[in-house]
Amino acid sequence: MKSTLPEQTLGQSDLRVSRIALGCMGLAGTWNPAEVGDENRRKAIASFEAALEAGITFFDHADIYGGTACESIFKDCLKAVPGSRERIVIATKFGIRSGYYDHSPEHIRASIRGSLDRLGIEYVDLYQIHRPDPLSHPRETARVLDELVDQGLVRHIGVSNYYPHQTLALQKYLKAPIVSNQISISLLRLDPIYEGAAGPSRPTGPGGDGVLDQCLEFAITPLAYSPVGGGWLTGRREVPADNPRKETIDRTLASLREMSAAYGGATPTQLATAWLLAHPAGIIPLVGSNNPEHIREAAGAARISLSRTDWYKLWVAARGERVP
């Protein structure tokens, strides 16, 4: 039976997307396209179908995922579920090459053509710059991205791993609004929540990058990769004794587990994801799994409404200190 998830508008766009998205980095099950076989395709299609049944309508790719195999195998997913292209939002990213970043006009044009061919689609709903390229002027990058929008190959533009002033520099030259910023954020990476690094006005305490404040100011939707801290907050992995963050992980997991009963037996994954969903910036967590059971589990977080006191309890546990 197909479920529905709460939806939201993606930034300043006309796109409506589910509050949980599927991050497709592991969809092919390999980083070597030559290794993709029938079993890889079967698992990818099963994951895609599980996501659709869970109510997920937003799928995030990058041209480097699986060494291009993840985009290619997604074409098989779309074929396996007729009519699915029209019901979903497809995002992908460009800009990372082997050992360096590349925002050159010729690379951007080649990248979008390659992604469209592999995905088997005529346009991408959201085209994202994977990481900033220090050797590219934002004027040139913006000019080519606007060109792709004008040509109908791309509907909307987003960025990934951009700090606030990098986003502002690109937006200065870009006609299209930047609708999203894909960042690493979780209870184990709190930097985007804070307004800036510690300094004279705040000599102690955690540093930050202010990304979520900028998202709120400019109606940019944050897309959260590694929403459960690279898997540590699922509670399914033993934390090695020599892990430098073991104390933080154990303390945060203990708080998540303690809270479970109050939310109908919700799992650590669901509560850690619900913690992100509660932020007013409208964070969309990217579920990075090709396991149907784990996809369904994560999607359940969208139906959890954390209380304000519980949200702060988890924040304090992750910080390792009380709020000032």
What is the distance between the alpha carbons of residues 184 and 259, in angstroms, rounded to a whole number? 24
DSSP-assigned beta bridge partners for residue 97: 100
Please say if 65 is a catalytic residue: yes
The length of the chain in residues reads 324
- Distance (Å) of CA 245 to CA 105, 251, 254, 259, 267: 41, 10, 14, 21, 21
- HEC per residue, 232-280: HHHCCCCCCCCCCCHHHHHHHHHHHHHHHHHHCCCCHHHHHHHHHHCCC
Q: For the CA atoms of the chain, what is the radius of gyration?
A: 19
**Residue 287 contacts residue 57 (beta carbons within 8 Å):** no
Query: Of the listed 65, 162, 194, 225, which one is catalytic?
Result: 65
- Torsion angle of C-alpha atoms 19, 20, 21, 27, degrees rounded to 10: -170
Q: What is the DSSP letter of 287?
A: E
CB contact burial 14-42 (16+ within 10 A = b; e otherwise) = ebebbbbbbbbbbbbbbeeeeebeeebbe
Report residue 133: phi and psi, to 5°. Answer: -115, 110
- Which DSSP state fits 292? H
Residue in the structure block whose two tokens are 């985009």 = 71
Catalytic residue positions?
65
